[in-house]
Amino acid sequence: MTACTAMFRHLFPAILLLMTFSMLSCGREQPEQRVDTARSNVQEELGEHFGKPVFIRIIKEDYLLELWIREPDGNWDILKTYEIAGMSGDIGPKTREGDEQAPEGFYRVYPHAMNPRSSYHLSFNIGYPNKYDKSLKRTGSWIMVHGSDVSIGCFAMTDPGIEEIYTLVNEAFKTGFPSVPVQVYPFRMTADRMEEEKDNKHYDFWLHLLPGWNYTEENKAPYPDNDTE
C-alpha cells in the first residue's frame, strides 16, 4: 500500500462527512438562492418597479394574468400582461377539493404564502378559499400561481414568467406592504357578455363579482373587496 493510498483511506471518512455536510448546506440554501437568482434575472428590466405596490388580475377565459403596479403618483397601471401557460377546468368557480377548477373571486397573498421551495420553480398561494367561499361550504386548498407550463386547479406562468411575478410581489412585501390583491374573473364582464351568460348556472355568483370588475375598469385600481379574511 502506497503512502498516498494509506493517507486517502485515513482521510476518506472526513472527506465523506464534509461532502455530506456541503450537500445538506446547499439544499438548505437552495430556496434563497432561487429567489436571489430570479431577482437578478429580472433586475435589469423591472428593477425600477421593485418595492411598489402590486395587484394581480386574472381573466380565465382569455388565459391572461395582468400585473398592475401603483406608481408614486398613486395611479395604477398594467405593467405587464402574461399568458397563462397552464390552467385546468372551465369558466366558473371552484367549489370542492379535486374538481380541477381554478377559483374565481377576490383573494389576497400574504408574505407567509410565498413558496421558494416550490416543485414548480417558485409559487405563492392566492388564499383560496376566502371568507365568501367558506360561507358557501366550498373546499380546496393550495391554489397557487407558479412556474412550469402545466397545472391542475392553479395558474402556471412558465418559469421566466413566475420569476418576474414572484419577484415583484416579494419586493412589495420587503418595503412593508402587507398583502397583494389577486382578483380572478371568468371573462371580461361587460354588459353584453353578462347578458349572454344570464342563463348560466353561475350567473348569480358572477353578479357577486361584477362590482369588482366594474370598479377596476372605472377606477383603474384594485377593488377594495371584503371577501378575504
Q: Which of 26, 154, 202, 208 is catalytic?
A: 154
Taking the model in full, what pTM does it have?
0.86
Q: What is the pLDDT along the chain (229 residues), one digit of tens a residue?
A: 544 444 335 444 444 333 433 333 344 448 889 999 999 999 999 999 999 999 999 999 999 999 999 999 999 999 999 999 999 999 999 999 999 999 999 999 999 999 999 999 999 999 999 999 999 999 999 999 999 999 999 999 999 999 999 999 999 999 999 999 999 999 999 999 999 999 999 999 999 999 999 999 999 999 998 777 6
10 as an active site residue: the answer is no
4 as an active site residue: the answer is no
Long-range contacts of 131-137 (CB under 8 A, 24+ apart): 131/226, 131/227, 131/228, 131/229, 132/105, 132/106, 132/208, 132/227, 133/93, 133/94, 133/103, 133/105, 133/227, 136/95
Q: Are 106 and 129 in contact (CB under 8 A)?
A: no
Q: Are 112 and 176 in contact (CB under 8 A)?
A: no
Q: Which of 4, 146, 202, 208 is catalytic?
A: 146
Under DSSP, the state recorded for 102 is P
